[in-house]
């Protein structure tokens, strides 16, 4: 296997929004991300310094993480394969931006859950920056979750298999 | 939502092995993990200091990450809900340990892919430690992947929904 990380796929493909200096929003698709801490609530995203969003987040010190249904997979792939340096990805995807409390960066309304993050720490690790965000707020579609757990019989998130291939969940649930 | 991180679930539940001072292997189930860097190849796992595996990894400075089929979900849940302080989880689950090159920590043979990691850096972030491992080697079942992408029509990994609920992937594939 040429790329070790492909054996960890599929991971959920999420949309991360961030604003430029003029308050114009950009969006990037990411597959490398994880919760890090409960208290304080920290969520990490990994972005290469060459990506347009990297410096936007380093400057604005805030971002939102948006969890996407598989029905929008074409837009997810578009946002992962185009750069905000040349393309207005919000305009092209026709995503609906929605203002939130706490930060200036908007969420993407078509997504079923959102983490509102303020930059807590940046850790340079290898060829990527780990942006550690403090989660200021969580917004979500009430119908997507029951008792805080995803209704995976109704909501089908977007999972990245690698090389612009995507899949989703089945409706199985095993409870212990 | 009481726990912000549940809106990021399901994430893949992986089995991480590590050795104690006497070379006896322990295994822990983790849902918070991600690739971090391509060059050098870095993969991060988040573990709370109270967990038995935390000090084992801090001491041995090595571990393996094992990607598990959904058929073993009962054992995955067992390893996430029992502590190696009191339970010999390898004995109870009857997992087959297999020696590897490069490090002393074994892999779990029943899993379909494995990352062999040497501790590269430890970053304390909130109430968890982010162990950043340098991936020394990747081992995998040749039949599980085609052109480095998971055969998600055949291999069904284990995904964690939260609160000891699990699901898996469906066989959909959208290619761009």
Which residues of B fall within a CB distance of 8 Å from A43? 4-5, 8
Distance from CA of B107 to the nearest CA of A (A): 15
Q: Are B105 and B21 in contact (CB under 8 A)?
A: no
Which residues of A fall within a CB distance of 8 Å from B165? 149, 173-176
Mean pLDDT over residues A139-163, rounded? 97
Distance from CA of A82 to the nearest CA of B (A): 13
User: For chain A, what is the radius of gyration of the CA atoms?
Assistant: 16
What integer pLDDT is reported at residue A102 of this predicted model?
Answer: 92
Mean pLDDT over residues B111-131, rounded? 98
Which residues of B fall within a CB distance of 8 Å from A162? 148-150
How many CB pairs lie under 8 A apart between chains A and B?
246
- Closest-CA residue of chain A to B80: A176
Q: Do residue A140 and residue B7 have CB atoms under 8 angstroms apart?
A: yes
Contact of B50 with chain A, judged by CB distance below 8 Å, is answered with no
Residue pLDDT, tens place only, B65-76? 999 999 999 999
- Closest-CA residue of chain A to B133: A125
Average pLDDT, chain B: 97
Mean pLDDT over residues A56-81, rounded? 98
Judged against a pLDDT cut of 90, whether residue A166 lies above it is answered with yes
In percent, how much of chain B has pLDDT > 90? 99
Cross-chain CB nearest to B150 (options A10, A148, A171): A10
**Run of H or E including B122:** strand B113-125
What integer pLDDT is reported at residue A13 of this predicted model?
Answer: 98
Residue pLDDT, tens place only, A85-125? 999 999 999 999 999 999 999 999 999 999 999 999 999 99
Q: Where are the domains of chain A?
A: 4-167
Q: Do residue A123 and residue B123 have CB atoms under 8 angstroms apart?
A: yes
Q: Could you tell me if the ipTM is greater than 0.90?
A: yes
Judged against a pLDDT cut of 90, whether residue B46 lies above it is answered with yes
Contact of A50 with chain B, judged by CB distance below 8 Å, is answered with no
Q: Are B5 and A138 in contact (CB under 8 A)?
A: no
What integer pLDDT is reported at residue A160 of this predicted model?
Answer: 98
Judged against a pLDDT cut of 90, whether residue A1 lies above it is answered with no
Q: Do residue A8 and residue B9 have CB atoms under 8 angstroms apart?
A: no
What integer pLDDT is reported at residue A79 of this predicted model?
Answer: 98
Round to whole Å and give the CA distance between B14 and A94.
36
Mean pLDDT over residues A135-160, rounded? 97
Instruction: Go through B132-146 and write b for each residue having 16 or more CB atoms within 10 A of its CB, e for each that does not.
Output: bbbbbbbbbbeebbe
Q: Is the peptide bond between A40 and the residue preceding it cis, with omega within 30 degrees of 0?
A: yes
Q: Is the peptide bond between B10 and the residue preceding it cis, with omega within 30 degrees of 0?
A: yes
Judged against a pLDDT cut of 90, whether residue B55 lies above it is answered with yes
What pairing do the DSSP bridges indicate for beta strands A62-67 and A97-98?
unpaired
Contact of B145 with chain A, judged by CB distance below 8 Å, is answered with yes
The pTM assigned to this predicted structure is: 0.98
Round to whole Å and give the CA distance between B155 and B67.
11
Mean pLDDT over residues A162-176, rounded? 97
Distance from CA of A107 to the nearest CA of B (A): 15
Contact of B61 with chain A, judged by CB distance below 8 Å, is answered with no
What integer pLDDT is reported at residue B77 of this predicted model?
Answer: 98
Residue pLDDT, tens place only, B81-104? 999 999 999 999 999 999 999 999
Judged against a pLDDT cut of 90, whether residue A156 lies above it is answered with yes
Judged against a pLDDT cut of 90, whether residue A29 lies above it is answered with yes
What integer pLDDT is reported at residue A2 of this predicted model?
Answer: 80
Q: Do residue B32 and residue A36 have CB atoms under 8 angstroms apart?
A: yes
Mean pLDDT over residues B10-14, rounded? 98
For domain A4-167, the CATH class is mainly beta
What pairing do the DSSP bridges indicate for beta strands B145-146 and A11-12?
unpaired
Distance from CA of B96 to the nearest CA of A (A): 20
Distance from CA of A42 to the nearest CA of B (A): 7
């Amino acid at each position: 296997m040429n790329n070790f990380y492909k054996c960890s796929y599929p991971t959920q493909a999420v949309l991360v929004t961030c604003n430029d200096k003029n308050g114009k929003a950009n969006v990037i698709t990411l597959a490398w991300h994880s919760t890090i801490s409960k208290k304080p609530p920290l969520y990490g995203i990994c972005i290469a310094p060459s990506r347009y969003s990297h410096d936007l987040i380093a400057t604005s010190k805030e971002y939102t993480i948006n969890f996407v249904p598989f029905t929008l997979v074409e837009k997810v792939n578009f946002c992962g394969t185009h750069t905000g340096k040349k393309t207005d990805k919000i305009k092209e995807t026709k995503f609906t931006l929605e203002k939130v409390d706490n930060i200036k960066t908007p969420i993407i309304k078509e997504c079923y859950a959102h983490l509102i993050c303020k930059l807590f720490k940046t850790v340079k690790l290898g060829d990527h920056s780990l942006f550690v965000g403090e989660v200021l707020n969580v917004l979500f579609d009430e119908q997507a979750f029951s008792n805080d757990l995803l209704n995976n019989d109704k909501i089908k998130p977007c999972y990245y298999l690698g090389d612009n291939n995507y899949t989703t969940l089945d409706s199985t649930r095993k409870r212990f």
